[in-house]
Each structure stands twice: as structure tokens, then as C-alpha cells.
A and B are shown apart, each in its own frame.
Chain A
Amino acid sequence: MAQIIIPTPLRKFTNNQAKIDSNKNTVQAAIEDLAKQYPNFQKHLLDEAGQIHPFIKIFVGEDDILDLDKEQTTLENNTIVSIIPAIAGGSYNYYNLLK
């Protein structure tokens, strides 16, 4: 069973769960399963073509999956999968000002 660590900014999509176990064998299957379990999470992880967004990084253990087998990276028992979102800061005024 691999374990997916959900960062605090994205926990609102997983009912505040910080760690989610996955019995899937690849990163792709685990992420798709996560998106299926938590439909609101999907658009924050995957684009319309089902690809992982460029502002989300997935690490397996200490390694970026881009340096492993990308989405096909295999998950072993006790593998830690980290989802790392781009975060910019605590201020939201900037975007509001521009709207």
C-alpha cells in the first residue's frame, strides 16, 4: 500500500485528510483513483487531457517522477508519494486588484 501525502493547501479537497493510502501500482493509476474518489480535486491535479498540471509536482520518495518513469513510475509497498503544488504567498490582494 503506497501512501499519498496531501499538502495543506489541497486538503480541502480530501475532507482534510493529510495522508491517503493507495493500492494502485503506478502513479497514474493512483492519481486517477484519487481524482475519482474526490471529484473536486480532479481539476486541481489534471488538465482536460488527463495530464498532471505543470504547476503540480509529483514525487515518489525523494525523486521527481520526471526523473523516474513519469506517470508510469511504479509504486511499491510503503512508497511515499508527494503532491507538491506551486504556492506563491499569503496575499490574495494581488489577483483581486487585477480583476
Chain B
Amino acid sequence: MANIDFSKAELERYSRHLIIPEFNIEGQRKLKNAKVLVVGSGGLGSPLLLYLAAAGVGTIGIVDFDVVDDSNLQRQVLFGTACVGHPKVNAAKHQLLSLNPHIQINTYNTQFTSENALDIAKDYDLIADGTDNFPTRYLVNDTAVLLGIPNVYASIYRFDGQLSVFNYKYEDGSFGPNYRDLFPAPPPPGLVPSCAEGGVIGVLPGILGSLQANEVIKVITGVGEPLVGRLFLFDALSFSTRTLKLKKNPTRPKITKLIDYHQFCGLTPAETKISEEIQLNPIQEIDVQELERWKNLKLDFQLIDVRETYEREIVTIGGELIPKATVEDQLSTIEKDKKVVIYCRSGKRSADVIRLLQDKYDYANLYNLKGGVLAYAKEIDTNLATY
């Protein structure tokens, strides 16, 4: 480690680290020598990457397949308006190197998959999980376990945050608990929040991603006590925090290889189930062009929006608002003797409503608007906002 030298510019840049007695130049050398892979450069990845780059982590890998979207900027503070439309990894690299030109950034503009995960991660000392979905979280965890490297984990939802250091290697060669010790299996897709229930307060990933960066730095430098065998919880609504004990689950099956994580998370069977359901209970649908034609022809039909009031305030294409959960209480307002077009954000909730009305209340005059408001905003009226 002593062979890692710093230029005058670096010494000055990192001086506030160098004068912390227990951190000093040894800690800074460890950071410069470290290779950290950050999976996901969104809400959590943004503050995490900014702080890791600023702190002087020598090599940072970033995996993300997404492009920057307007709706990201509320929380993904790594990006500015000019980044919209650009691949996240490219925009991130540009921003991070302008923050600190003394580090190396490796980018992987691809989805992190069972096929590429081990190959991408094999050259890194640590993985930080900044992903936003269950399949990739299990993939990140299992990759870290197979490679014997720590996985610094943070996760958020709306106002709740979770943080832990998984698969930490102790001096005796044993490993601390990992994500599968905490949650052996993910929720099935049916219990994962739907569009109407998504969302996150923008500051929350900033808080958790910063705490995550702190843990990464502690693990690399050996300074302090990393959050191993403990789960930190933050409730931003009540401002309460708790730290719970986390142990290895002796009954957990050993992780021996990467698997099909979509299937593990119930996605493949769910897709099959949905298509079977559609075959058994077919629903009629029209696309947004057809809806526009019906409007122009002034056909007599009813248009119903089954989203929530707060979604309608973002954007609407008209019709009556009957939120999905209240449909059964408002049956008298849903026409039976003329065509009724039902829509939501993407066409999923409206299809559920149509199946319910057809199966339980014998409606036969319902049409799902394919692609929902999103398709309408894309194909018919590009002035409409999407979310």
C-alpha cells in the first residue's frame, strides 16, 4: 500500500481526510487502491457515486442500462437537465470526472444479468446495491456471495429506508449475514406496489445513499464499525430510526450459482398466468388512434379514468374519474348500453377493472385503452406530461 503516492493536487484535495488521526494517509491510500462497483446510478446511486468520487475511491464501476429521464431529476442529483436523454452511465462518468479527475470510472451501459454479473464484478473489491427491483437485488447479493466480496445495501420505498452491510468478510475468513438471511424470498409480483402506489420522497434516497457511501468508505478503510449483522431502518415521516440485529439463517440454502432471478421473483410464472387469464377472459381493447377516431366521429361512448385523483392532477385525457378501488361502489355510473372506454396510466389497472366488471357484473360493452395515458401522450398529444 505504501507504494501508492499522491500528487500535490490530491494531497490538497483530500487534506480533510488526511488530518483525521484514525483515517490519515493510510485510509486515503486504501480508498485510492479500492475498486467499487455501483449497480444502479439512480436515486441511491447518485449521492453514493458523488461521495465515493469526492472521497477518492480510485476505481468506480457503474452499471446501468437506463437513460436520464425528466422524472429522475427530482431525486437523482447526479444529473442535470442537460443530461436528459443521455445514457446514465455516460452522464454519470462526465459529472464524476468533473468532480474528481484523479479517479478512474468504468461504465457498463447494460442491464446487470445472471449472464454478465460475475464477469463485470470479478475485478471489484466491493459491490454497492443501488438498484430498484427485487430480481436485481437478489442477483447483486448472490454475485457478492459467490465472489466473496461485501455488498453494501440500501433500499427505499416512499418514506422508509433500510441499510446494511452484507457478506462482510471477517478476519477469520467467515462471512457476515447477507440479503437472503434477511429476506429468503421476495414478494410475489401481485404484492409488489402497483403504479398507483409507487413513488418516493426525493430526499430519502439522498439520505440512504449517503449513509451507504459512509459504510462503503468504512469497509474499505477499516475505520469504525461497519453495519455488519445489523439492519438500520429510517422512517422519514416520523423521523424515527432503529437498528436491529441480523444473524445468519442456518436453514438458508447455500448460494452456489446465479439463477434465473425473474423466475425466482415470480415474474415468469406471473406472465404465464396473466396470459392464461387473458385467454380465459378476453377483454376488448382499442388503441389511442382508435379512441381519437371515436372522438372525432363524435361517437356516443363513455370514457372512464380509473386512476387516483392525484394522478389525474398530473395529466388527464378527460372522462369520468372512478378510481379502481371505488369502481364497485359506483356501478350505477358505469353505462351498460353503450360503449365504455376505460383507461389508466399504462392499461394494466383498467384491464383489471374490465375483468372484474365482466366477470362479476356481466358487462359486455367495455374497451380497455391500450397503453393508457402514456400511449396517448406519446402518440396523440405530446404536450401532455407523462409520469
Residues of A contacting B249 in the complex (Cβ-Cβ under 8 angstroms): 66
Q: In whole angstroms, how far apart are the Cα atoms of A95 and B268 in the complex?
A: 11
Query: Given A62-B243, A90-B75 in contact, is the A95-B189 Cβ separation under 8 Å?
Result: yes
Residues of A contacting B21 in the complex (Cβ-Cβ under 8 angstroms): none
B134 at the interface (CB under 8 A from A): yes
Cross-chain contact of A54 among B185, B193, B233, B267 (Cβ < 8 A): B185
CB distance from B19 to the nearest CB of A (A): 36
Q: Mark A39-83, 1 if CB is under 8 A from B, else 0.
A: 000011000000001110101001110110000000000000010
CB distance from B125 to the nearest CB of A (A): 24
Residues of B contacting A90 in the complex (Cβ-Cβ under 8 angstroms): 43, 75, 132, 156-158, 198-200, 205
Query: Given A7-B235, A82-B244, A87-B162 in contact, is the A44-B205 Cβ separation under 8 Å?
Result: no
Near B by CB (< 8 A), chain A positions 1-34 give 7-9, 12, 18
Cross-chain contact of A55 among B162, B186, B244, B262 (Cβ < 8 A): B186
Q: In whole angstroms, how far apart are the Cα atoms of A68 and B362 in the complex?
A: 52
Residues of A contacting B156 in the complex (Cβ-Cβ under 8 angstroms): 87, 89-90
Verify A62–B245 contact, CB threshold 8 A. Answer: yes
Q: In whole angstroms, how far apart are the Cα atoms of A9 and B193 in the complex?
A: 9
Residues of A contacting B235 in the complex (Cβ-Cβ under 8 angstroms): 7-8, 18
A94 — nearest CB in chain B belongs to which residue?
Answer: B133
Residues of B contacting A98 in the complex (Cβ-Cβ under 8 angstroms): 262, 267, 271
Tally of B interface residues using CB under 8 Å? 53
Near A by CB (< 8 A), chain B positions 314-366 give 346, 348
Verify B244–A62 contact, CB threshold 8 A. Answer: yes
Q: In whole angstroms, how far apart are the Cα atoms of A87 and B235 in the complex?
A: 13
CB distance from A95 to the nearest CB of B (A): 6
A18 — nearest CB in chain B belongs to which residue?
Answer: B238
Of listed B42, B191, B238, B267, residue having the most chain A CB within 10 A: B191
* Cβ-Cβ contact count across A and B, 8 Å cutoff: 120
Of listed A12, A44, A64, A91, residue having the most chain B CB within 10 A: A91
Verify B133–A86 contact, CB threshold 8 A. Answer: no
Verify A91–B158 contact, CB threshold 8 A. Answer: no
Tally of A interface residues using CB under 8 Å? 32
Residues of A contacting B28 in the complex (Cβ-Cβ under 8 angstroms): none
Q: In whole angstroms, how far apart are the Cα atoms of A89 and B136 in the complex?
A: 11
Query: Given A18-B238, A67-B247 in contact, is the A92-B187 Cβ separation under 8 Å?
Result: no
Verify B132–A8 contact, CB threshold 8 A. Answer: no
A35 at the interface (CB under 8 A from B): no
Near A by CB (< 8 A), chain B positions 226-274 give 231, 233, 235, 237-238, 242-247, 249, 262, 267, 270-271, 274
Query: Given A89-B133, A94-B132 in contact, is the A82-B242 Cβ separation under 8 Å?
Result: yes
Residues of A contacting B162 in the complex (Cβ-Cβ under 8 angstroms): 84, 87
Query: Given A9-B193, A44-B191, A92-B193 in contact, is the A87-B348 Cβ separation under 8 Å?
Result: no
CB distance from B183 to the nearest CB of A (A): 4
Residues of B contacting A7 in the complex (Cβ-Cβ under 8 angstroms): 160, 233, 235
Verify B159–A8 contact, CB threshold 8 A. Answer: yes
